[in-house]
Amino acid sequence: MGAEPIRKLERNEPAIVTTVERLVERFGDRCQVGAAIREQHANTTTWLANLPPDAVVFAESAEEVSEVVRLCGDAGVPVIPFGAGTSLEGHVNAMAGGISIDLSRMNRVLAVHAEDLDCVIEPGVTRKQLNEYLRDQGLFFPIDPGADASLGGMAATRASGTNAVRYGTMKDAVLSLKAVMPDGRIIKTGSRAKKSSAGYDLTRLLVGSEGTLGIITELTLRLQGIPEAISAAVCPFETLEGACNAVIATIQSGIPVARIELLDELQVKASNAYSKLDMRETPTLLLEFHGSEAGVKEQAEMFGEIAAEFGGSDFQWARAAEDRNRLWQARHDAYWACVGLRPGSKALATDVCVPISRLAEAITESRRDLDESGLLAPIVGHVGDGNFHVSLLIDMDSADEISRAEQFMARVVERAIAMEGTCTGEHGVGHGKIKYLRKEHGDTVDFMAMIKQAIDPRGIMNPGKILPDDSF
């Protein structure tokens, strides 16, 4: 590729030991080396192995993050940024050891510009914390992944959620950011202007880079006004295909639905048990409409006509805020509800995204594939943008189940890519989906590696994530 290959980082025990000693001396109790806290800062959510760092530093400013990165960079020791630890593809695992930089104490809302619909925050602020802060100003931040993730982590993984169909994902919500780069320099990308033609779009480069290029230390985010009227609905369908086709028709009709979520029959059963709901156990759409009183009423009526055409009926409305919150909390708790279906199992969570016109085909084929494989796995999805999730509940002591699950996950990804979709709509690559990146992007992966090499030639920034070995 015309340049020296990036140095492959293997565990450098002497350098790590020396670096940890220096960090303990510098940060005292804010540099922790106990086994329990190190394991908490590695992958804990899904089936991927827990690969803990050698130490955890609790940073309290961008300058401290820079100091840690410079020290690690000089020694060639990896650094792994940590927000809330809710990612699903092993993003926070220390593949070659190193230092986890915990950003949770950098949790201040620095400024809210209500008249411009934006705010400036530190990366440890969580989505719920921000919306609590904004509520009395008539504003909200719409991106809402299932967990109460940190906004720095959400930006790093290009997260989305139930509102993405109307309000977009983190790539649409981040106006600018500050980040510590591999040489310790702090840079600022973009401005508060809503658009710009000035130079490379480094904001979008860092959003979704999963900590492999830099560590985000400040974010300027777009906000939205709280709608005048909000109405949510539960709509059961006779078949999974009917529910999917209703989604396709709704999006193609241009109805500005704010949320449209699919729960298959198994997921409804799980959510009823976990969240104490009483939904009919059949494929179901959860919806929400935002706008004026008249606009919300019109949207609901239009959707009702579409739903009836595809076997949807028996609407249940949730207009009171507490009822809506209960409904969407149940949706956000879908992962934990799944786990309750088979106590003692591990959840192998995966997601893909396809063009909306292929949604029904992708989901029904995946459901058929699961049933034929004899795997217990609910399907749930942000189907308004073609994104759906499968959580396979596996006995980790059964080599046969693990093998069948891995084979299924490969097939669902291959199916999505064949439909001109992607191997991950929002979970990210981490190290769990590296093997699919070249299948999706081909030789483009080589150019991703060139960017990584140019920015992080020593390979210290969250190594072993996103890029496959054959890209270097």
Give residue-wise pLDDT tens across range 332-381: 999 899 999 999 998 888 999 999 999 999 999 999 999 999 999 999 99
What is the C-alpha to C-alpha distance for residues 192 and 126, in angstroms, rounded to an integer?
A: 21
For residue 3, pLDDT over 60 is answered with no
Task: Label residue 9 by pLDDT band (50, 70, 90).
Answer: low
Residue-wise pLDDT for 152-210, tens only, equals 999 999 999 999 999 999 999 999 999 999 999 999 999 999 999 999 999 999 999 99
- Residue tagged 């029959």 (tokens): 265
pLDDT confidence of residue 292:
95
pLDDT confidence of residue 2:
38
Q: Residue 72 in contact with residue 22, Cβ under 8 Å?
A: no
Rounded mean pLDDT of 49-65?
97
Q: Residue 252 in contact with residue 165, Cβ under 8 Å?
A: no
Task: Label residue 46 by pLDDT band (50, 70, 90).
Answer: confident
Q: In 3D, which of 130, 328, 301 has the Cα closest to residue 221?
A: 130
Q: What is the mean pLDDT of the chain?
A: 94
Sheet holding 215-222, edge to edge: 109-113, 118-121, 215-222, 174-180, 186-189
What is the C-alpha to C-alpha distance for residues 126 and 107, in angstroms, rounded to an integer?
A: 8
CATH of 13-104+444-471, one of 3.30.43.10, 3.40.140.10, 1.20.1250.20, 3.40.50.720: 3.30.43.10
Q: Residue 213 in contact with residue 463, Cβ under 8 Å?
A: no
pLDDT confidence of residue 43:
83
pLDDT confidence of residue 1:
37
> Which residue blocks in 87-184 are alpha helix, DSSP H?
127-134, 151-156, 164-167, 170-173
For residue 75, pLDDT over 60 is answered with yes
pLDDT confidence of residue 8:
58
Residue-wise pLDDT for 418-435, tens only, equals 999 999 999 999 999 999
Task: Label residue 60 by pLDDT band (50, 70, 90).
Answer: very high
For residue 5, pLDDT over 50 is answered with no
Please provide residue 300's backbone torsions phi and psi, each rounded to the nearest 5 degrees.
-65, -40
Looking at CATH, the fold of the domain delimited by 109-225 is given as 3.30.465
Q: Residue 88 in contact with residue 432, Cβ under 8 Å?
A: yes
What is the C-alpha to C-alpha distance for residues 188 and 180, in angstroms, rounded to an integer?
A: 9
Please determine, looking at this structure, whether the domain spanning 229-335 carries the CATH number 3.30.360.10: no
- Counting Cα atoms < 13 Å in the Cβ hemisphere of 104 gives 14
pLDDT confidence of residue 299:
94
DSSP string, 87-110: -SS-TT--BTB-EEEE-TT---EE
Q: Cβ contacts of residue 168 below 8 Å, gap of 6+?
A: 143, 160
pLDDT confidence of residue 45:
78
- pTM listed for this prediction: 0.94
pLDDT confidence of residue 136:
94
Please determine, looking at this structure, whether the domain spanning 342-436 carries the CATH number 3.40.50.1110: no
Intervals of CATH 3.30.465.10 along the chain: 109-225
Looking at 12-16, 281-285, 322-326, which range is the least confident one?
322-326
What is the C-alpha to C-alpha distance for residues 226 and 196, in angstroms, rounded to an integer?
A: 26
Rounded mean pLDDT of 109-133?
97
Residue-wise pLDDT for 264-308, tens only, equals 999 999 999 999 999 999 999 999 999 999 999 999 999 999 999
For residue 393, pLDDT over 80 is answered with yes
Of residues 7 and 369, more confidently modeled: 369
